[in-house]
Amino acid sequence: MNRTFAEGAVVLAPRGRDGAIARAMLAEAGLVAETVPDLAALVAALRRGAGFAIITEEALRNADLRELAAFLADQQEWSDFPFILLTERGGGLERNPGAVRLLETLGNVTFLERPFHPTTLVSLAKAASRARIRQYQARARLEEINDGQASLKLALSAGGLGTWTLAMPARTLSAAPESKAHFGRGADDRFDFEDLIDTVHPKDRALLEDALAESVAMGVDFDLEARCLWRDASLHWVQINGRVERDPSGSIVRLVGVSHEITERRQDELRQRALLELGDALRHMTDADKMSFLAARILGETMGVSRAGYGTIDPVRETITVKRDWNMPGIESLAGTLHFRDYGSYIEDLKRGDTAAIADARLDPRTADGASALEAISARAFINMPIVDNGQFVALLYLNHAEVRPWSAEDIAFIRDVANRTQSAIERRNAETALADLADSLEREVEVRTRERDRTWQNSQDLLGVIDPHGRFVAVNPAWTEILGWYPRDMEGRAYDDFVHPDDALASQAAYRQAQVEPLRQFENRIRHRDGSYRWVSWVASSGDGLIYASGRHVTAEKEARLELEAAQAQLRQAQKMEAVGQLTGGIAHDFNNLLTAISGSLELMQIRVRQGRSGDVERYVEAAQQAAKRAAALTHRLLAFSRRQTLDPRPTDINRLIVSLDDLLRRSVGPTIELEVVGAGGLWTALIDPNQLENAVLNLCINARDAMPEGGRITIETANKWLDEKAAAERQLPPGQYVSLCVTDTGSGMSAETIERAFDPFFTTKPLGEGTGLGLSMIYGFVRQSGGQVRIYSELGQGTTMCLYFPRVVGQHAIDEVALPTEATLPLASGETVLVVDDEDAVRMLVTDLLADIGCNYLEAADGPAGLAILDSPVRIDLLITDVGLPKGMNGRQLADAARQKRPDLKILFITGYAENAVIGNGHLDPGMHILTKPFPMDVMSARIRDLLGTGGEGAVGNGT
């Protein structure tokens, strides 16, 4: 016997799609299921290991069950394999000798009569799975008994078993905590034999006494299943088993045994019997009132409540009218009309379609005021389950109990199952009556519609076809001849893929398989014309009665036009890309030629004046060259921002505070004719961004807004917290999540759709020649995207413009104030420290080493990473490493710094770079003692940074040289 702890189901249902349907039902309930084609495969699957089996009766009818019986005979003592047998309609156990035969063969079998509600199958499957799991657990307990008393106790506890001892003849009871729990008592509660008798249901006390007397008198095992009432008034079932023990003289001195709560199993059994009884009875009933009373009686007896009934509802008057209900002896009927408001406010739950389950009317706020009225009608606890028809609250199934009673989820599910079955049976009977009344007229209507269908088949301009399960045409309409030249006699009996273009064969086969299980919508393929050419056809299809019904529209002209349009659009996009590249390169060449002319011209005139001895004009040319160099650096910075390759200094930033700090600058920049309004959101989240870049972006946006309002207007700067769900995030091309938005809105001239489309292109501008570079918005776009955010433009001509920047929220951090570098006047001069300079540009090394000499430092230099590493591996003293990030010969500056830190862990490092990729510098986060300075940098800033690092030894930070 396989010893695998398997919980899944094996389904044997060879007829139609029964097996697939059952497997889908179980999967929806979270149960794993395997379908098998025949009895031999079933037995093989059971021997591999399974939790339970679901079998249709016809699969076993007249079958040779010897192999299955052999499997059951091979089971160990702990195993009682559960089966769920789906019987035919009308095949109740008492009327079906074959079912009795199967019961004798299978042993642990539950019969479920078809048709059944999916909830019933799932409930039985879960019960079978739980039972099988308990068998596995019991097996484990039996195997551990030999390990000693500790293992025995653990096994009993794991299986829900509690031990007890009853000393005779004094009837002194000693119970383990697990056994006490079975009777609703705590581990520290007193629990003697008198307490046991009090706990047992009054109707079962005599059974307990009789079983005990027989065991003592006859010396036989004690075996009893009894109902118990816990202190909370809930009803439970307990199984009690014991064995007598004798002294050497043969007298019985005690009974020892175990108890096990079987409430769930007994409830499942009672409820399954109740459902079978309900199904059998409803099948032969036609009167709706009698069907409702039957359901009430079965519920009342099964649930053990005081009353159960069914009534019709007037939702406007908030009344229920009861014709007849079931009542326990001594309980009065509620027949008549009652007003819900007389008993509480729970009518509001019922109107919403919610079940009202009240365990104690005195304690529930919905019924506390009406508790006395409810107790007067024996309804201190109750369940009211609304019946909804076409969205309207029309009827109510109710259960009342005179005492406090908790209602479990299983209780409510069982009641709902009964209600659904009864309502379905009533609706089915009503429908059958209505169908019988309409039979004659429907027959005539069918005839009319059949003629209409035939005319549609003949006259349709679409390709209509019927395909059998083997993929062969059963019938085609005349449109095939008109469109594709094929006569029906040419196609009927041939496979559909004989007419499909070879390149579309795989896709057409997939579409055919899809149409077999679900409707096919708008699938296109090429179908062969009789002359050998192909036509494009757009198909829809669905299945029924094992056939596929397909309708195809001839779309060759539309398809060709669409392909031509797509090709034209692709050419247009390529032309636009080339135009953008041309603008970019032309703009860069224009601006850099101007700047290089200023730099080279100034240098040449400086050289001429020095030769002439006219040093008075040199300063003017130096200033001109420096200004041109700064403008070139700014242009490069903007290009890096657009390309999202600039070196950022991201910090947790309070955007509201940053905007407030810019207030004076912004107002001076936009001028007195512009009204500036700032609307900061309360509780604004923190964003991880470069505050300097954000300041530049806000200033740039405000200046653009000012230029769009030459005659004055209003600029509004607004911040907000944004939750972007999947749809909103997809519209902004962002991942879903939390974002901080910063929007700048003006009342200016607005933008056209064409302008919005190109607004972020480099060097694109709508301003007159010479009044704008066209890099402002592209720089903002690059900065925001590099920060993980997005930019969106909302504008209409004449209606103003809104520019919104979205930045990801950073959680768990606070804004960090910027710390300015000390001025050169406060920095000490160096005193002989040694600095290693590594840069592959000779001119840069010359400038840096000359600067180091000027401030009193010793220096060493190298042109690449390996040469620098050789110096670092030597014993020479080095106080600071200055290195470019991009170095030749296979080792970049970050790798050099990391290698240096292996032997010199406290070495200070300053990266100098014109383009530092995030992967090299750690995505904007450097280790302590590492700094960065962006090229080109002013020499005074470089001097200040070197002196600061050599003098103060501060912790690392990412800087941009400002």
* pLDDT tens-digit map of 566-590: 888 777 766 665 665 555 565 566 5
Q: What is residue 628's predicted lDDT score, i.e. its pLDDT?
A: 66
Beta bridge partners of 388: 393
Confidence of residue 503 (pLDDT cuts 50, 70, 90): very high
Q: What is residue 765's predicted lDDT score, i.e. its pLDDT?
A: 58
Q: Is the pLDDT of residue 330 over 70?
A: yes
Q: Which of 618-622, 716-720, 792-796 is most confident?
A: 716-720
Helix (H, G, I), strand (E, B) or coil at 446: helix
Q: What is residue 727's predicted lDDT score, i.e. its pLDDT?
A: 85
Beta bridge partners of 881: 836, 909
Q: What is residue 695's predicted lDDT score, i.e. its pLDDT?
A: 86
Residue 253 one-letter amino acid: V
Q: Is the pLDDT of residue 347 over 90?
A: yes
Q: What is residue 581's predicted lDDT score, i.e. its pLDDT?
A: 57
Pull the structure tokens for residue 415: 């009641």
Residue 801 makes CB contacts below 8 A (sequence gap 6+) with 705, 708, 745, 746, 748, 750, 751, 793, 794, 795
Find the mean pLDDT for residues 299-323: 92
- Long-range (24+ apart) CB contacts under 8 A made by 58-61 are 58/14, 58/15, 58/88, 59/12, 59/13, 59/14, 59/15, 60/85, 60/102, 61/98
- Report pLDDT digits (tens) over 187-239: 889 999 998 999 999 988 999 899 898 988 888 888 888 989 888 777 888 98
| Higher pLDDT among residues 645 and 540, named by residue | 540
CB atoms within 10 A of CB 796: 12
Least confident residue range of 184-188, 651-655, 728-732: 728-732
Q: Order the strands of the 930-934 sheet from edge to edge.
A: 858-862, 834-838, 880-884, 908-913, 930-934, 957-958
Antiparallel, parallel or unpaired: β 687-689 and 651-653: antiparallel
Confidence of residue 769 (pLDDT cuts 50, 70, 90): very low
Scan for tokens 């497997």, then name that residue. Answer: 23
- Report pLDDT digits (tens) over 915-941: 555 445 554 456 788 888 877 777 888
CB atoms within 10 A of CB 695: 16
How much is the pTM? 0.33
Give the DSSP letter of residue 240.
Answer: E
Q: Is the pLDDT of residue 369 over 90?
A: yes
Q: What is residue 655's predicted lDDT score, i.e. its pLDDT?
A: 92
Q: Is the pLDDT of residue 452 over 80?
A: no
Q: What is residue 402's predicted lDDT score, i.e. its pLDDT?
A: 93
Residue 447 makes CB contacts below 8 A (sequence gap 6+) with none
| Higher pLDDT among residues 795 and 648, named by residue | 795
Q: What is residue 862's predicted lDDT score, i.e. its pLDDT?
A: 93
Find the mean pLDDT for residues 589-604: 66
Contact between 884 and 907 under an 8 Å Cβ cutoff? The reply is: no
Antiparallel, parallel or unpaired: β 252-261 and 307-314: unpaired
Confidence of residue 373 (pLDDT cuts 50, 70, 90): very high
Helix (H, G, I), strand (E, B) or coil at 722: strand
| Higher pLDDT among residues 623 and 686, named by residue | 686
Residue 868 makes CB contacts below 8 A (sequence gap 6+) with 836, 838, 862, 881, 883, 887, 896
Q: Is the pLDDT of residue 662 over 80?
A: yes
Beta bridge partners of 718: 679, 743
State residue 577 phi and psi, 5-degree precision. Answer: -60, -45
| Higher pLDDT among residues 35 and 435, named by residue | 35
Confidence of residue 318 (pLDDT cuts 50, 70, 90): very high
The string of DSSP letters for 32-88 reads -EEEESSHHHHHHHHHH--SEEEEEHHHHTT---HHHHHHHHTS-TT----EEEEEP
Q: What percent of the chain has pLDDT over 90?
A: 24
Q: What is residue 843's predicted lDDT score, i.e. its pLDDT?
A: 76
Least confident residue range of 194-203, 619-628, 683-692, 725-734: 619-628
- Report pLDDT digits (tens) over 8-65: 899 988 887 778 888 888 888 888 889 998 888 988 988 888 889 998 888 888 888 8
| Higher pLDDT among residues 594 and 294, named by residue | 294
Q: What is residue 155's predicted lDDT score, i.e. its pLDDT?
A: 47
Q: Is the pLDDT of residue 822 over 80?
A: no
Pull the structure tokens for residue 72: 């059951």
* Closest residue by Cα to residue 189 from 205, 173, 203: 173
Q: What is residue 667's predicted lDDT score, i.e. its pLDDT?
A: 87
Q: What is residue 958's predicted lDDT score, i.e. its pLDDT?
A: 36
Confidence of residue 826 (pLDDT cuts 50, 70, 90): very low
Find the mean pLDDT for residues 307-320: 92
Find the mean pLDDT for residues 71-84: 85
Q: What is residue 5's predicted lDDT score, i.e. its pLDDT?
A: 43
Confidence of residue 952 (pLDDT cuts 50, 70, 90): very low
User: What's the mean pLDDT when you consider all of the chain?
Assistant: 82
CA distances from 954 to 583, 652, 709 (A): 45, 20, 48
